[in-house]
Amino acid sequence: MTMKKNFGDYSRTFITDVPADLESERAQFFKKTIPKFPEEAIYIYSFRENRMIFASGWEEVVGYRDDEINMLAIVNMSAPDFAPFSHDLNDKALRFIHGKSKDLEAYSFTIELKKIHKNGDEVPIVARVGVLSSENGKIESIIGRFQVNRGLIFGKVMRYAAYGPEKEKFEEELNKALFYHLAISNKEKEALSLVAKGYSFKEIAHEFNVSHSAIEKRIIPLYKRFEVKSLTHLVSFAYDNSILP
């Protein structure tokens, strides 16, 4: 019998529940050199050592002390509605970057989601995860920043964005997660916002300096994903689900 794939299986094989030693010289260096904003939590996780090597701000954001928070806990604290997509996005992002050997530190992605506070409350978060360091073409460590944003309005649709030297390919890989979830990339959202303003596909293509077919590839798949039958219905769905302000 074939075992059913669970979202997050790939990335989970690389993470542990070992917290950071905040008294270490390295952790003290990060504390002094990495700026942190109010209501922001930061972590640095080492794939080489399979453990957290720095954490700051977690008690303020989700109620866990910096010396107890660990990578497995961070992954597992996503709210139930957001967890499957978050896990799948982590998997696809890590797989993509594992396939690269140059400019790894330039890759990152963001996702808007809710995390569960230690007291059970849901916390609206904009999370950005990127490669902090690499060695011999392999990821050595990653850095994550979790910023509380109480102005976020969530609908049924997940929102994310990808960054890096091969941004188009990176986002294309992450887009594969959209076949399983109601989600939209930043690139698709930008195009959709112009559709809502009455721009034609040709005008949007000119705005982004891409081909007409490239815009069709951003918009047309949204029909099936969101189960709508027209551009008018699509725009209405986007407003109803807080995709567009």
DSSP string, 60-96: HHHS--TTT--HHHHHHTB-TTTHHHHHHHHHHHHHH
pLDDT, one tens digit per residue, over 86-127 is: 988 899 899 999 999 999 999 999 999 999 999 999 999 999
- Kindly list the distances between the CA atom of residue 184 and the CA atoms of 58, 156, 158, in Å, as whole numbers in the listed order: 28, 11, 6
The burial class, CB within 10 Å (0-12 / 13-18 / 19+), for 84 is middle
CA dihedral 5→11→16→21, nearest 10 degrees, is -160
**184-240 shares the fold of 9-179:** no
Q: Is the pLDDT of residue 31 over 80?
A: yes
Q: Which CATH architecture has domain 9-179?
A: 2-Layer Sandwich (3.30)
Residue 7 binned pLDDT confidence (cut-offs 50, 70, 90): low
Print burial letters for 43-60: b (CB count within 10 Å at least 16), e (below 16): bbbbbeeebbbbbbbbbe
Q: Is the pLDDT of residue 36 over 90?
A: yes
Q: Is the pLDDT of residue 5 over 60?
A: no
User: Which stretches of 108-245 are DSSP H helices?
Assistant: 167-175, 186-196, 201-208, 212-226, 231-240
User: What is the dihedral sign for C-alpha 178, 184, 188, 194?
Assistant: positive
The burial class, CB within 10 Å (0-12 / 13-18 / 19+), for 183 is buried
Token duo for residue 20: 């950071």
Give the per-residue pLDDT at 2. 35
Cα separation of 166 and 182, whole Å?
Answer: 24
Q: Is the pLDDT of residue 165 over 50?
A: yes
**For residues 174 and 87, is the Cβ–Cβ distance under 8 A?**
no
Please indicate whether residue 140 or residue 186 has the higher confidence score (pLDDT). 140
Residue 180 binned pLDDT confidence (cut-offs 50, 70, 90): low
- Domains of the chain, residue spans: 9-179, 184-240
Cα separation of 174 and 171, whole Å?
Answer: 5
Cα separation of 65 and 53, whole Å?
Answer: 14
pLDDT, one tens digit per residue, over 182-198 is: 788 888 889 999 999 99
- Which among 6-20, 133-147, 149-163, 223-237 has the top mean pLDDT? 133-147
In the sheet that holds 138-148, the strands lie side by side as: 51-56, 40-46, 138-148, 122-135, 108-116, 158-163, 183-185
The CATH class of 184-240 is mainly alpha
